[in-house]
Amino acid sequence: MKKTLELVKMNIGQIREGLLKKDFSALELTRAFLERIEQEDKEIGSYLTVCQETALSQAKEVDDMILEKREIPYLAGIPSAIKDNILVKDIRCTAGSKILENYIAPYDATCVKKLKKEKTVILGKTNLDEFAMGSSTENSAFYPAKNPWDKSRVPGGSSGGSAAAVAKGLCAFALGSDTGGSIRQPAAFCGAAGLKPTYGTVSRYGLIAFASSLDQIGVIAKNVQDLKAVFEVIKGKDKMDSTSVDTSLKEKKGKRDVQRLKAGIPKEYLVKGMEEGVERAVKEAIKKCQEQGIRIEEISLPHTEYALAVYYIIAPSEASANLARYDGIKYGSFQARSQVKDLQEFYFKTRGQGFGKEVRRRIMIGAYALSAGYYEAYYLRAQKVRTLIKNDFKEAFQKVDLILSPCAPTTAFKIGEKITDPLSMYLSDIFTVSVNLAGLPAVSLPCGRADNLPVGLQIIGRPFEEDTIFEFAQFCEKIWTQ
Amino acid sequence: MLSKEQIKHIAQLARLELEDKEIESLKKELSSILDYVEKLKEVDISGVEPTSHPFLLKNVMREDEVEEFKNKKGLFQAAPELKEGYFKVKKIL
């Protein structure tokens, strides 16, 4: 049997091959991952809950299937992790918040149901910024996750636990959610591949809502092939999410010649404040594409500089409405019930004590932006500028097939560096939020290093053209490693 | 800059109990965030329709059939206090 370190380094394709060739069993594989979590995760903090028993029994089932010579689905036996704002039945789901500290999920999210049907092994639930609000995983109510490349640095966020777990070999792939960059930025910081699909392609049923017009479930994995394999399983129309889309009607048939693709670089994205090393790594990666015959041209997304402001009105506004449900009655952790005199006080205390600082801050911004007298000045105006941002992309995609940019303006920053200044933290999402506002698909792909820390290239595509992104990204993987 | 009273009013709307110290820090933080979003005022939005969702949504219709949720027990177990199969709440008046 292979050693733990060899097992946990494998990608999905390699694991599948090993299982089918009986190099190792699913049980051995799952044990190796659980052992590694036990040894390494105290320092990384990527998991909030580890589901040892269910993981082992899921693995056993796969071994039985193999033993009986039954055909196994593509993701069968693959050890995965699920961001802790996505429900897995009978497993605690905290959303990184004290207010849901003891919440046991009463049903499976649709994407989890689909993974279970594939016989995927679920190792546990990963750490995140509380309610997915943050860019560093420091806002987790339990403990911050750390970057496997440098433990004094953040793994990014909010899906920081998922990205760190993939990078450290604590799972083969992980599900995350992305509202303004929460899959792509941590993937970039940890040197993993991340996919934020087109809005609506993956059902949000069972995802704890943050900002419903922006939220999308996606994947963090070791390479593009794996992103694609998981995406194929979790996507699709779901009657439990009326915004989900039947993508089979929208997909373009037939492969395209990658080398005939045209990619655009938005001139507005080469902003001041970008780290020199990040800029250099991204430019070098793009140059290599150019040398291979990819046509690159400069494009313009004129409303880029307003995207972050639009996002920080729309996302908190939707959040303040979505988080109104945490009243401490249907679920909640507030203990001192007997000490309050009426329902009103009960609400104030439950919410004041149950939500962390950043969540309270965002609820406040949202409540303000939606309140009488300010709605038009803030929320409505932001929605109109959102239209202009969306139109910028539409126009750009008339000229090019893909848009390339850095994923974040810096590499992973130090723990504590930005936590006291919310605005500087928000700026780490500057290249990713527009994509959510426009509902587009995007992949973050490791493209180089700056000061020995991973840098990610963001590849944005037209709505429902994930396949074009995958083909291009796989092409990049090949030429960058040459 | 938002006033202390404004912060208290928003907290009231959001049903959040805040300590005095936090009211002070929120005054500064919210004000700096609102200053930042002020830049949206530069944009000419005349004649622009608002976007509430990335893609145009159509009403999704289905038969109005009652489906029993199978794990009722699981739903209720999350509640801190129950009485005779109902959620228990504090008195309202």
Q: Which of B18, B77, B80 sits opposite A328 (nearest CB)?
A: B80
pTM beyond 0.80, yes or no: yes
B92 belongs to a structural domain: no
For chain A, what percent of residues have pLDDT higher than 90? Answer: 87
What's the CATH code of the domain at B11?
1.10.20
Predicted confidence band of residue A42 (pLDDT cuts 50, 70, 90)? very high
User: Chain A, 272-301: which have a CB under 8 Å from a chain B CB?
Assistant: none
Predicted local confidence at residue B56, as pLDDT: 72
Task: State how many domains chain A has.
Answer: 1
Whether A468 shows a pLDDT value over 80: the answer reads: yes
B76 belongs to a structural domain: no
A237 contacts chain B (CB < 8 A)? no
A152 is catalytic: no
A422 contacts chain B (CB < 8 A)? yes
User: Chain A, 435-474: which have a CB under 8 Å from a chain B CB?
Assistant: 437-440, 463
A309 belongs to a structural domain: no
* Omega before residue A46 within 30° of 0, cis: no
Chain A contact set for B71 (CB, 8 A):
89, 106-107
Predicted confidence band of residue A181 (pLDDT cuts 50, 70, 90)? very high
B49 belongs to a structural domain: no
Minimal CA separation from B87 to chain A, in Å: 7
Predicted local confidence at residue A252, as pLDDT: 64
Chain B contact set for A306 (CB, 8 A):
39-40, 42-43
Whole-angstrom distance, CA of residue A458 vs CA of residue A433: 12
A382 belongs to a structural domain: no
B3 belongs to a structural domain: yes
What's the CATH code of the domain at A148?
3.90.1300.10
Predicted local confidence at residue A417, as pLDDT: 94
Q: Residue A263 corresponds to which tokens in the numbers above? A: 């990619």
Report CB contact under 8 Å: B40, A385.
yes
Mean pLDDT calculated for residue range A403-425: 93
Domain that holds residue A22: 4-249
Exposed, middle or buried, A213 (CB in 10 Å: 0-12/13-18/19+)?
buried
pLDDT in tens, A276-322: 999 999 999 999 999 999 999 999 999 999 999 999 999 999 999 99
- Range with lowest mean pLDDT among A237-246, A396-405, A420-429, B25-34: A420-429
Higher pLDDT pick, A340 / A89: A89
Instruction: Tell which residue, A111, A300, A121, has the closest CA to residue A216.
Output: A111
Mean pLDDT calculated for residue range A19-23: 96
Whole-angstrom distance, CA of residue A428 vs CA of residue A438: 18
Minimal CA separation from B54 to chain A, in Å: 5
- A219 with A194: CB under 8 angstroms? yes
Whether A58 shows a pLDDT value over 70: the answer reads: yes
B73 belongs to a structural domain: no
Whether A206 shows a pLDDT value over 70: the answer reads: yes
Report CB contact under 8 Å: A383, B52.
yes
For chain A, what percent of residues have pLDDT higher than 70? Answer: 96
User: Chain A, 16-75: which have a CB under 8 Å from a chain B CB?
Assistant: none
Between A and B, how many residue pairs show a Cβ–Cβ distance under 8 A? 175
Q: Residue A107 corresponds to which tokens in the numbers above? A: 């049903």
A478 belongs to a structural domain: no
> At a CB cut-off of 8 Å and minimum separation 6, what does B87 contact?
A329, A330, B76, B79, B81
A310 contacts chain B (CB < 8 A)? yes
What's the CA dihedral at B39, B41, B42, B44 to 10 degrees?
Answer: 140
A158 is catalytic: yes
pLDDT in tens, A335-373: 667 788 888 888 999 999 999 999 999 999 999 999 988
Mean pLDDT calculated for residue range A66-73: 96
> At a CB cut-off of 8 Å and minimum separation 6, what does A438 contact?
A389, A390, A393, B54
A195 belongs to a structural domain: yes
B65 belongs to a structural domain: no
A113 is catalytic: no
A465 belongs to a structural domain: no
A241 belongs to a structural domain: yes
pLDDT in tens, A96-144: 999 999 999 999 999 999 999 999 999 999 999 999 999 999 999 999 9
User: Chain A, 101-120: which have a CB under 8 Å from a chain B CB?
Assistant: 102-107
Whole-angstrom distance, CA of residue A231 vs CA of residue B93: 51
Mean pLDDT calculated for residue range A447-469: 97
- Please state, rounded to an integer, the average pLDDT across all residues of chain A: 94
Domain that holds residue B24: 1-43
A192 belongs to a structural domain: yes
Task: State how many domains chain B has.
Answer: 1
Catalytic residue (choose from A25, A97, A177, A182): A182
B57 belongs to a structural domain: no
A370 belongs to a structural domain: no
B29 belongs to a structural domain: yes
Predicted local confidence at residue B92, as pLDDT: 77
> At a CB cut-off of 8 Å and minimum separation 6, what does A396 contact?
A264, A266, A299, A300, A301, A403
- A419 with A134: CB under 8 angstroms? no
Report CB contact under 8 Å: A333, B80.
yes
Instruction: Tell which residue, B12, B45, B54, has the closest CA to residue A244.
Output: B54
pLDDT in tens, A229-274: 999 999 999 999 999 998 877 666 566 788 889 999 999 987 767 8
Catalytic residue (choose from A158, A159, A434, A444): A158
Residue A261, SS3 per DSSP = coil
